Amino acid sequence: MDKVTIFMIFIVFILFTSMNMIKAESCAKGPVIPTAPLVVFLEKVQETALQVYGHKGFDPKLFVDMSLRQNLEVTVEAFNKIPRTVNGSVLKNDLDGFIGKYLGGADEDLVYVEPVDYVVEPEGFLPKVKNTEVRAWALEVHSLWKNLSRKVSDHVLEKPELYTLLPLKNPVIIPGSRFKEVYYWDSYWVIRGLLASKMYETAKGIVYNLISLIDQFGYVLNGARAYYSNRRQPPVLAAMIVEIYERTGDLDLVTRSLPSLLKEYHFWNSGIHKVTIQDAQGSNHSLSRYYAMWNKPRPESSTIDSETASKLPNICEKRELYRQLASAAESGWDFSSRWMRNKSDLTTTSTTSILPVDLNAFLLKMELDIAFLANLIGESSTVTHYTEASQNRQKAMNSILWNAEMGQWLDYWLGNSNTAEDIYKWDDLHQNKKSFASNFVPLWTETLRSDNITTQKVVQSLRSSGLLQPAGIAMTLSKTGQQWDFPNGWAPLQHIIIEGLSRSGLVEAKALAEDIAVRWLKTNCVTYKKTGTMHEKYDVTECGAYGGGGEYKPQTGFGWSNGVVLALLEEFGWPEDLKIDC
């Protein structure tokens, strides 16, 4: 081959590469917040580990949770020097040797700490629980706070650059099993349980940790790891602070937290998250959506996302899918047919094209909670602003998301905007008329359950939806194998719907709330007796069965499940003569 030919091939290669780079840039939609170099490196370790160890029992999260024993430059150099075979692969003994010498275990960055306010049986604990068997179980669940309590190790605080764990100052309650860090929306139900356990200081410490994340990033992250910095979770921090204040009267907590809450609220109601939509009468409304600032595989599931995206033909479609998967993770519902255009195909996930009922209900509650908290400390202008904002969102939800015929609020799929201002025109056909548990989340907000006629419709709709199962509420009616689909039920949605029904003015709604609570408590207790542990999710079609599906094996521990059990027992109690069995 002569020099001219070689030169021409080189030029073609450069042009091809450049065109692909330009194409990749041109197809990028929305903002991207880069992740830390440490995370990028650990993803390479994760990819190599999958090739070496194989798929069986492989958990990609384990590898991005590892820490460095030496600085990143030295570790990368050592990794690059691992011997490769002729085909470029690494042998197991060589990878084992590298990991043993240069990387710390995923459980070395958090250390056990005894909660300062834990006692074996708190004074005034669950006074409505009269049944001795149920009380004994509740005390065992209460004792799990001690098992799940951790603090960031001194090594992380001294050298945070060697860890993906973020250096939070106060002790945390972890969910359990593979989840060895604090998570955002999990923490609300953890706190509800801690309050039932009279562990007020631990609850406040969790809130102050989350506030520190807002101060650093502008929002609370999905979880307290560096690789979560470009996505969030449902915004329920204000609700945590209201709950703690109502138990403790701590005005200092309110004063210190309010500026951070305003910052987080602004984030969710501006930029790419804010959507303007015009209703059938021509009035414009603002609602919010999930929109992760990321378009690559999620680091904790990088090998899984890459495999999912391998079905797509080009880099643009892959990047779009990565954003959609990260946005679904941001919603907490990762994953569910709720976000998919084709329920049997994960690559059709289109989270950013949806105005979700639950996110907007959470933000409506946030507006009401901020107004309540601001009133406590005399911030009258803030009270006025957020009261008006809540009224506007309520109108928007009732105009855009409410479906009177179904008696539910429905997710709204965004069509193609045909105006320069990106104002979407409402169309009845764009409401997702499938029943999801999230369609009933608005009951949790006081203003949306204050109308008894609407609440009665919602109660009747829930009863006839098919979601109500022998052991609780199913998330959807689609059995896809995804963990947020049928037949799974999850603690936070049970609690939100139960509490919304219970706090309404309707006798029928309160009766339904108690019925669902009994079903959920029974399945939690019976499963605990059978397995010796609390579970992340449950199969609601059968009393005493835990859930499955999704991209990782079922987890135990488990923070929010424990919290919801204690909160429900505190609210409803358990009579002496009622057996807790199936």
Q: Which strand ranges, in their side-by-side order, compose the sheet holding 110-112?
A: 110-112, 149-152, 172-173
* C-alpha dist (Å) from residue 515 to 3, 46, 492, 548: 82, 46, 17, 24
H helices of 425-543, where? 446-449, 452-464, 491-502, 507-531
Residue 15 is predicted with a pLDDT of: 40
Beta strands in 363-493 (DSSP E): 402-403, 408-409, 412-413, 423-425, 468-469, 472-473, 488-490
Q: Is the pLDDT of residue 22 over 90?
A: no
70-79 residue pLDDT tens: 999 999 999 9
Q: Is the pLDDT of residue 18 over 80?
A: no
412-449 residue pLDDT tens: 999 764 343 589 999 999 999 999 999 999 999 998 88
Question: For 107-121, what is the mean pLDDT?
Answer: 95
Average pLDDT, the chain: 94
Confidence of residue 27 (pLDDT cuts 50, 70, 90): confident
The residue from 65, 369, 411, 536 that is catalytic is 536
What CATH topology corresponds to 32-132+150-250? Answer: Glycosyltransferase (1.50.10)
Residue 448 is predicted with a pLDDT of: 86
The residue from 108, 243, 334, 571 that is catalytic is 334
Contact 194, 105 (CB under 8 A): no
143-163 residue pLDDT tens: 999 999 999 999 999 999 999
Question: For 345-351, what is the mean pLDDT?
Answer: 98
Residue 137 is predicted with a pLDDT of: 98
- Domain ranges for the chain: 32-132+150-250, 435-581
Q: Is the pLDDT of residue 24 over 90?
A: no
Contact 357, 438 (CB under 8 A): yes
Strands 274-278 and 472-473: unpaired
Q: Is the pLDDT of residue 505 over 50?
A: yes
CA–CA distance, 364 with 368 (Å, rounded to integer): 6
Q: Which two tokens stand for residue 466?
A: 């098919």
Q: Is the pLDDT of residue 3 over 60?
A: no
Question: For 339-347, what is the mean pLDDT?
Answer: 97
**If 0-12 CB within 10 Å is exposed, 13-18 middle and 19+ buried, where does residue 13 land?**
exposed
Residue 421 is predicted with a pLDDT of: 55
For residue 15, the SS3 value is: helix
Residue 19 is predicted with a pLDDT of: 41
Question: For 354-359, what is the mean pLDDT?
Answer: 98
Confidence of residue 110 (pLDDT cuts 50, 70, 90): very high
Q: Is 243 designated active site?
A: no
449-491 residue pLDDT tens: 888 999 999 999 999 999 999 999 999 999 999 999 999 999 9
CA–CA distance, 531 with 545 (Å, rounded to integer): 10
CA–CA distance, 242 with 370 (Å, rounded to integer): 9
For residue 286, the SS3 value is: strand
CA–CA distance, 173 with 190 (Å, rounded to integer): 7
Residue 197 is predicted with a pLDDT of: 98
Strands 274-278 and 423-425: parallel
CA–CA distance, 365 with 578 (Å, rounded to integer): 35
CA–CA distance, 222 with 352 (Å, rounded to integer): 17
Residue 28 is predicted with a pLDDT of: 60
Q: Is 536 designated active site?
A: yes
Least confident of 13-17, 150-154, 301-305, 426-430: 13-17
Q: What is the Rg, in whole angstroms, of the alpha carbon atoms belonging to the chain?
A: 25
Q: Is the pLDDT of residue 252 over 50?
A: yes
